Structure 1
Amino acid sequence: MDEGTTRSGGLGLFTAIAFAVGNMVGAGVFVLSGLVVDVAGPSAVVSYILCGILVMFSGLSYAALASIYPEDGGGYLFARRMLGPVPGFIAGWAMYISLTIASAFILLGFGIYANLLLGTSFDPRYFALAALVLLSFLNIHGLSEAGKLEVALVVSKVAILLGLIIAGLFYISASDFTPFFASGTGGVIDGMTMVFFAYIGFQVVALMGGEIKESSRNVPLATLAAIGIVAVIYTGVIVALLSANLPSYGEKSVFDAAAVLFGSLGATLVALGAVFSTLSSANANVIGASRITMEMAFEKQLPCRFSRLLHEQPVNSIILDAVLCCVLVIYGNLYFIVSLTNVTTLVTMALVNISAFILVRKEHLVPPEKTYFRMPLGVLIPALGFVSCIFMLATLNLLIILLGLAIILPGLVFYFVEDTPGGERIRREIGRRLGRKVK
């Protein structure tokens, strides 16, 4: 039996679900919900549900691969093991870039709700940049969220959102859904394109698979449970927004809806939950991005100096992450950042679905005594997952797609760059940090 199924320490199932839900329930709900209603109207409900179904196909692919490879690395590890070094590098680099870009959106959300909480009217970018500096400093010094703290934060913000959803259900009426397709079916598709961003956090479970006990069982369960829980929360929040009958919808609509349904105290509570939620999600992205670069450096797919350790953290990787995020915070807007994140994430997810397709075709090579998650309906699920990724890419602006690829593909330069003589020493340090043996 593999190490992942015998591990007694590490994170339990509930904590793994909390990490995934916590990573998804952030700016994706507090900021994005109002933007999606603005684009799709009441049919935003359909956008969230349909996108959740499409993401579930890819989630099943992640679950199957994670049960075979119960280690850290997520999509990068799966693509490298199943498709080879170069596709693996592309998947890993795309993951690193997508987490960095997503952090910019999340931190702008932090800035928006920090203003609402404090009653100020500063440019949200000031708060976003201050938070970015703080998180980068803390991560360089090795301070990151603990499992128990993450569970507490998730329970708190989910409780706040559930209160909003319940209030919305009391006030909602049929007229709030009329006209349902306010922007036509095109609005539903545009909404789905935006909503995809809100679901991508499910990958965090596979990314930290090596830290989850009984990972061959718990990683698939946590992945699927998190997607299902978050789909319900997102849909419920849309209902709450519609029940508030706001004159217009945008990035602070969850706050405005809370003010209508609960008064100023409720709105303040929502703003407080959003501030902690976005800060936690951004921190999780910084941790995830740095973990990917350490994995890639250890596997000699990145020059080890890229992940040189200081205080046990890959300082150069964190600094580059901060610089890229800073540029996007200053020059990007919410719609642009969401679309760019989707391009880079969809590249990784497409490669993971291809990997899962190959896994199902070669399932007979898996040792019969190995416990793993068997894909229902065989190759149909990863095939649908891949098609859904291509469909989501096709809904994006061509210029955004080309820009996303232009960010990913030059990263191949790192793959071919020779390491310095000191690289092996850094690799041994990374190996100790990851608990791996240097071959």
Structure 2
Amino acid sequence: MELALQTGLTLLAVFPVLLLIGIPISVTIGISSVVSILSALPWENAVFTASQRIFTGINSFSLLAIPFFVLAGIIMNNGGIAIRLVNFATLLSGKLPGSLAHTNVVGNMLFGSISGSGTAAAAAIGGTMAPLQEEAGYNTDYSAAVNIASAPTGLLIPPSNSLIIYSLVSGGTSVAALFMAGYIPGILWGLGVMVVAFFIAKKQGYKTNNEKITFAQGLKVFLDALPSLSLIVIIIGGIIGGIFTATEGAAIAVVYSLLLAMFLYKSIKIKDLPRILLESINMTAMIVFLIGVSSIMSWVLAFTNVPTYITELILGVSNNPIVILLIMNILLLIVGTFMDLTPAILIFTPIFLPIAQNLGMDTIQFGIMLVFNLCIGTITPPVGNTLFVGCRVAKTKIEGVIKNILPFYVSIFVVLMLVTFVPQISLFLPKVMGMIE
């Protein structure tokens, strides 16, 4: 008992200090975990345990889906897909008040779901829409706020690397079921942003797009975007239909997107491939390293019984499930503001999942709630990468954007509460598809 307490106190002492002095989160997790083990075990045993946990953490076939989806996303980011999806989004939302803002939201939902990256969506769609909105007289800070607020929808709408990581760390929750569960929450997030944008457009007098699009023009836009949209149908349809696994689907996504970008859109040349591969390798290495070192921390947390103590602490505050879920949401929202999505999933899933299961919450619903919370952190300071990318793309300052994004935070929080307290929002599609009872 004393040994476990000593190890836990060492972790709690070292981890925040390393973060405060600016050590990268992945290195912080690794160093603090190893130092904690050294406080309890001899050097040889500590090194052996840490090495074993890293190997165990990354030794998963389903984890192979991540590098493939990362590579597919980078190919799409360079493949001329953004402008085609923006044109298609205009067909869907072009007649709403403040139509360019709605086009931005729909474009982010489409591009984010295809690329699997909120930051990529904010850069690609935001970079395309910002000049158009500026030309139409939109306030720059407002345009940036709309782009930033809607960019994370693609982290929920599949395919999503975040949901794959959650599946791994939660003990093998079905990736296909998680993918289906992410659709409605992700779409509701986007619709919530559009509702706020609708009322702001009315108040500010942002006009509807009055440009008439003929049937022939609309058909051309649709056909131009169809190959990109088909990727979602092929990959998700194949996974849901049991034709291939998520890992095999990710590999197919790479092949399909590469053929699309090189031979149909002709936006990627052979000389671009080394740069694209290197970028995907760097990103994949970072994710896999995080998973490995987080496995060491998970062992330390289990050894010190930290999840049990936190569970008892939270359950000791109240026996009301509503209060407990609110506390969990608040803690996750706070965590998301200073920690990136992947390490937060790896660290806090083992801590909060037992509490959710104790309340009778389905593992799939909890996964969607967890990722939803942490996605909000990507658009909030001080560590919101999507927030900073959106500001940079719009060439504006964060102070002005924050003021404009506040109403969108409210709508997103309302959707979060629905996801938390209405299980069917997450579980309806998996049940309809026969993935869960």
Taking structure 1 as the reference length, the TM-score comes to: 0.26
Taking structure 2 as the reference length, the TM-score comes to: 0.26
Rg: which structure is higher? 2
| Larger RCO, structure (CA 8 Å, separation 6 or more) | 1
